[in-house]
Amino acid sequence: MSYSIGEFSKMIGLPVSTLRYYENEGLLKPDRDENNLRVYTDQDLKWVTFLLHLKGTGMSMAELKQYTIWRAEGDATMLERMELLEKRRRLLEKDIQALMHNLEVIENKIDFYEERLAGNKDSMISQVEAEKEKSTK
């Protein structure tokens, strides 16, 4: 199936200007019809969806460009692409750990407030001790 830039924009949820930007940056290469209008395919849809996932991981434009270049070069660059993805995975895992720790701190504070609001004055002492203990880990 083929799609105009407007149709593709709506399908993928990106403005037309972003699609043009991605094309200018070399991330996307839509076909052209007899009138030189961009024509997008289902393959383009899959590729842009994947790019958006990579972008969502915090991958830089330079990394996205490099990945795109390697992809165009084919199977000979599979190792490089895999190493880039493994690097991104390690960074994501660190981010997730940090977020989980921050979530735990917030949950502890919410628990503290709930205890205090319920009238438990002893929760102040246990909260301070718990925070001291966590900060030494």
Q: Is the pLDDT of residue 136 over 90?
A: no
| DSSP letters spanning 93-114 | HHHHHHHHHHHHHHHHHHHHHH
Examine residue 115 and state whether it is found in any structural domain, yes or no: no
Q: Is the pLDDT of residue 124 over 60?
A: no
| Rounded mean pLDDT, 42-64 | 97
Examine residue 97 and state whether it is found in any structural domain, yes or no: no
Helices (H), 13-122: 16-24, 42-56, 61-73, 78-117
**The CATH number of the domain where 32 resides is what?**
1.10.1660.10
Examine residue 12 and state whether it is found in any structural domain, yes or no: yes
Examine residue 66 and state whether it is found in any structural domain, yes or no: yes
| Rounded mean pLDDT, 4-17 | 97
Confidence at residue 119, expressed as pLDDT on a 0 to 100 scale? 86
Examine residue 39 and state whether it is found in any structural domain, yes or no: yes
Residue 29: which domain range? 1-75
The count of structural domains within the chain is 1
Counting Cα atoms < 13 Å in the Cβ hemisphere of 16 gives 8
Q: Is the pLDDT of residue 22 over 90?
A: yes
Examine residue 111 and state whether it is found in any structural domain, yes or no: no
Q: Is the pLDDT of residue 60 over 60?
A: yes
Q: Tally Cβ neighbours within 10 Å of residue 38.
A: 21
Going 17 to 18 to 19 to 22, the CA torsion angle's sign is positive
Examine residue 127 and state whether it is found in any structural domain, yes or no: no
Confidence at residue 120, expressed as pLDDT on a 0 to 100 scale? 80
